[in-house]
Structures are given as structure tokens and as C-alpha cells.
Structure 1
């Protein structure tokens, strides 16, 4: 039986989570439909646009994403500091970017004086919105529902477009985060619909490469900020250049028709993550089969389960892949 989402989230242990949604119909409804001969790649653009739009609303950053023919992946970072630092007015304004709110919150957003007997009700609404704006379930709901409505309208039909529940898993340490990001961003190469990361349409890695060629980073993605240091800005504490090299070389290795190897430059990250190159390739190639729950070392896995009061250590066998034997 699927577990309630609240039993899978532990901000105390990690702000990073990998989420995946799949379509339910037999056809590839975001790609080529072999039954009708129609192509629906434009729907992948809908999904990508909605992902990037939501980064401007939620206190949730996108570290990586890939929109495939029949499923999507996102790696999310929950920014509790940001959502807690928002003023009440900012919370309402953020919420109103997606929803109308209520007559009361509309009045508050306009700066109108709120009657004293309505203040408690307003505070409750703001607290609810603040909680939702850092909730990955609400993020995924606001991602999937508009796409489903658009697709059903285009197909002139009703019913489910996505599976009822999206998959989510906690990424418990740096190695888990980077491994999952690389796995997500190399999806098109494993599926043999792209030859290189920069040719992988509707992925975060293509945005990163395009921006890097201009000496920039995408504004709507969680940035790489270099090596960890005191008082650093929010971001992934690795060199973007090293990561791009690692992803590119990993993509070459996992392609059946192209020989490749992990260079000493790419091994800079692997050495810091304490993962041998052979283990890394195995993880990126078979991530979905290896990990069906939280991802991280056995120690991190145990702490995570302890904080969530889980007596049984589900999926602990997968931890062996995230540490040196």
C-alpha cells in the first residue's frame, strides 16, 4: 500500500527530493502515438514551461528535470528558510500567482484594512498558503493538473492523464543528489533519443549547457556555487564545469554504440563523493531499479528512518551502492 506523503518527507534530514510522474494511457501522449500516427512533442514543452513557471511561485527550487514521452522527472530543493522569511503579504502575493485565493486575501493583497473579527481567519489562510508553498505535493499538483486539462481538451476527452500518485524519494546526501540529477538529465541518452546532453530537449542539462556557453547559469534552476564555504549563497556546492564534464562523460559511457571513460577531471567530483567510477556508472545506468526508496549511505538512511519513526529499514540494501565497499 502506498505510504502517505508526510511519512516520506523529513526536512530535518534533507531538502532534496526526486519526483516522477507517468501517464496512464497506452499511447505516448507526450511523444509519438504509434496508434494514430500523431506527434505530441509540443506537450513536453507545456510541461517544461510549467516547471519553470512554478519556480517563481513556490519556495521550491528545481535542481534537475527531464520531460520524456510518457513520464517526467524533477529533482526538487525545498527552501524552508525562504518560505519562513516571506512576509504575510508576500505569501499571499505568491499564492495569487496561481490561485485567486479568497475575497479576504484579495482585500489584504490590495492593502485594505481588515476587520478585527476577520484577522484570525486571515492568519489561518496565510499559514495554510505558507505551508503549501513549500510542499512538494502541491508543487506536483500544480504541475500535473494544468497539463492534464490541456491534453484532455486537445484530445476532446475526459479522465486521468497522469497516474494517481507521483513517486517521490528522499535524497539524503551530496552523492545521492548528484547521482539522481545525472540520472534524470541523462534519461534521453539512455532512451536513445539524444546523442549528447546538449541535444537533450526538455531537460535541465540543456538549459545549463546553453547558459554556460554564455558564462551564465539558468536563473530558474538551482545554481552550482562551487566548493562549499562559509556564508555561501544557496546552491549546489560543486563546480558547474566539473559537473557538466562528469555528465557528458557518463553519457558517453552508458551509450551502447559509443565508447567512453571517466577522465581524471570528472573524477574530481567522484573522489569528493567517495564513489568509484565503476559504481557511479552502475548507479546512473540502473538508478530506477536500484533505488525504490530514500537514497543515501546506510548511516544517512538509518537517521532518516529514525526521524520518521520507521521501525523497519525498508530499501536499506540499496545503500551499498552509495558507499565504498
Structure 2
């Protein structure tokens, strides 16, 4: 039985989520269809461009993404505090970039005076729009509907393009977050589409690696790595970007060539910080979705999430104990 969205997303427990959307058709979202001889590779650009654009509209940051042939992976961070800090003008300006709004919101933005009665309705509408701008379901809707319309137009057909719902996993601690990000970034390598994480097109790791090698600032559309925990910690992922990229690259090589030496020789400071062994890390980054369903994190945190979301049982408790409890 499908889980309700409120039982999968609990911002009081975590602001990080792994979301997966799958194409319902046997044809391709992207890539090359060997049966028809038609290439859909350009659609990867549609997904990436739309996703990066939406990150500038919503109070939701992108930690990782990978656009595959018939599905997409996203790791998202919900920044509710940022959305709550926006004035009404900013909320409406952002929302109107992707939706028409109402007659009242349109009138307000062009400077028309609203009556007292209209103000009541207007304020209620603005509050609804604010909540939508930090709602993962609305971001996924605005991403998937746009791609579906373009694909249907190109294919000359109508009907459902995506499965009815996207899958969501709550990432409850740093180990779950970093492992899931690496799992997402390494999708093309595991599928033998790309030889390494560094060359994987339409992934966040490619964007990060390009910027790192060129000694440029981190990509503005991705949530930044901000170094280790310290006083006055800025917003971002609490590890060094260089350590993450090196670990993902070494993990990709180990997956590709089946040699444990890639990670064992690396002696990753990130793995040391997380308290994970090479065996635990490899299991997480190759089978994350197999091990966990609604949530992933250390066993104790999983129990707290289970209680808050009123799950009778939570799949993955055994794997949480084996893979995400610090060694």
C-alpha cells in the first residue's frame, strides 16, 4: 500500500531527502532506443536545465542529481527558514516565474490597490504560495510536468509519462546523506554508461569536479560543501568538496574494476570522519535503495523517525544497524 507523503517527509526530523521519478513508458526518457533507432539524449538537457532553474525559485537546494535513461535521482535539502524569511513581494515574484497565480496576486505585483476584503483572500493565497515554495512535492510536480509536456509534444501523443508518484527517502544523518549522494552520483558508473564519475554527463558530480579542477567557485545551483564542523558554520554540507570528489571517484573505480585496492589505498578522511568501513561504504553506495525504503540513518534515529511519522514498522532497521551505526 502506498505511503502518504506526510509519512515520508518530516522536516522536524531532517531537511534532506532522496527523490526518484521513473518513466512509465517502455520508451526512453533520455538516451538511445535501440529498437526504434531514435536518440532521446537531448532530453537529459531538458531535465537538468529545468532542475537547475527550479533551484533558483524554490527554497530547496540540490545536493546531488543524476539523469538516467528512464528515471531521475535527486538529493534535496529543504530550507524552510529561508522561505519564511522572504517578504510577500519575493514570494509572489518567485511563484509567478512558474505559475500564473491569481487575479489578485497579479494585480498586487503591478501596484493595484486591494480592498480590505481582497486583502484577506490575498494574504491567504500568499501563505499558500510560500508553503509551496519549500514543498518537495511541488518542486517535483513543476519538474516532471514540464518534461512530460515537452516529451508528449515531441512524441506526438498524450497520456501519462511518469509513474503516478515519485519515491521519497528521508536521509536522517550525515552518513546517510553522503552515502546517498554518492549512490546518486555513481548511477551512470554502476549502469556501465560511463567509465568514471568525473566523466558522467548530467550529474552533479560532473559539475562539482569540473569546478574543482578549474579551481573555480563551487556551482551556484548546487548546495556547497563548506568544510568540517566549526563555530559559525555556514549553510552547506559539512565536509570538504575535495575529499568527497576523491572518495566518489575512487568508489567509482572500485565499482568499475572490482578492485578493493582503490578505496583501501585512498584512506579517505571522509570515511574516517563518518566512521564507516570500506565494506559498509561499498554496500551503501551500490545498494542504497535496496537496503532502505522510507528513511535511512543510524538505528536510533530511525526509531525516532518511525515514532514521529507514525509508521507501524520501518523497513531497513537491520541494515541501519549493520551499515550506518558508527564502527
Taking structure 2 as the reference length, the TM-score comes to 0.96
Q: Give the equivalent residue in structure 2 for 1:321.
A: 323
Give the superposed CA RMSD: 1.4
Q: Report the Cα distance in structure 2 between the residues aligned to 1:87 and 1:264, rounded to whole angstroms.
A: 51
Q: Report the Cα distance in structure 2 between the residues aligned to 1:264 and 1:121, rounded to whole angstroms.
A: 63
Contact 2:293 2:315 in 1 (8 A): no
Deviation at 1:315?
A: 3.0
The aligned length equals: 325
Contact 2:24 2:162 in 1 (8 A): yes
Counterpart of 1:280 in 2: which secondary structure?
Answer: helix
Q: Give the equivalent residue in structure 2 for 1:136.
A: 136
Q: Report the Cα distance in structure 1 between the residues aligned to 2:314 and 2:187, rounded to whole angstroms.
A: 29
Q: Report the Cα distance in structure 2 between the residues aligned to 1:296 and 1:189, rounded to whole angstroms.
A: 24
After superposition, residues 275-286 of structure 1 pair within 5 angstroms as 275-286=276-287
Q: Give the equivalent residue in structure 2 for 1:27.
A: 27
Q: Give the equivalent residue in structure 1 for 2:53.
A: 53
Q: Report the Cα distance in structure 2 between the residues aligned to 1:12 and 1:305, rounded to whole angstroms.
A: 12
Deviation at 1:130?
A: 0.7
Deviation at 1:309?
A: 2.6
Q: Report the Cα distance in structure 1 between the residues aligned to 2:106 and 2:31, rounded to whole angstroms.
A: 40
* Deviating more after overlay: 250-259 vs 110-119: 250-259
Contact 1:64 1:203 in 2 (8 A): yes
Q: Report the Cα distance in structure 2 between the residues aligned to 1:239 and 1:114, rounded to whole angstroms.
A: 50
Q: Report the Cα distance in structure 1 between the residues aligned to 2:79 and 2:110, rounded to whole angstroms.
A: 27
* Deviating more after overlay: 294-303 vs 251-260: 251-260
Superposed CA deviations along residues 294-324 of structure 1, whole A, max 9, x for unmatched, are 0001111011111123343343222122124
Deviation at 1:117?
A: 1.2
Q: Give the equivalent residue in structure 2 for 1:192.
A: 192
Flag as ranges the 4+ runs of structure 1 deviating above 6 A: none
Structure 2: unaligned runs, 5 residues or longer: none
* Deviating more after overlay: 47-56 vs 286-295: 286-295
Deviation at 1:23?
A: 0.6
Q: Give the equivalent residue in structure 1 for 2:311.
A: 310
Q: Give the equivalent residue in structure 1 for 2:289.
A: 288
Contact 1:252 1:260 in 2 (8 A): no
Contact 2:250 2:266 in 1 (8 A): no
Q: Report the Cα distance in structure 1 between the residues aligned to 2:275 and 2:246, rounded to whole angstroms.
A: 18
In the alignment, does 2:223 pair up with 1:219?
A: no
Deviation at 1:230?
A: 2.2
After superposition, residues 266-277 of structure 1 pair within 5 angstroms as 266-277=267-278
Deviation at 1:22?
A: 0.7
Q: Give the equivalent residue in structure 2 for 1:231.
A: 232
Q: Report the Cα distance in structure 2 between the residues aligned to 1:258 and 1:154, rounded to whole angstroms.
A: 43
Counterpart of 2:72 in 1: which secondary structure?
Answer: strand
Structure 1: unaligned runs, 5 residues or longer: none
In the alignment, does 2:106 pair up with 1:121?
A: no
Deviation at 1:75?
A: 0.2
Superposed CA deviations along residues 41-62 of structure 1, whole A, max 9, x for unmatched, are 0001100001100001100000
After superposition, residues 87-166 of structure 1 pair within 5 angstroms as 87-166=87-166
Contact 2:292 2:315 in 1 (8 A): no
Counterpart of 2:169 in 1: which secondary structure?
Answer: strand
Contact 2:44 2:202 in 1 (8 A): yes
Deviation at 1:258?
A: 6.2
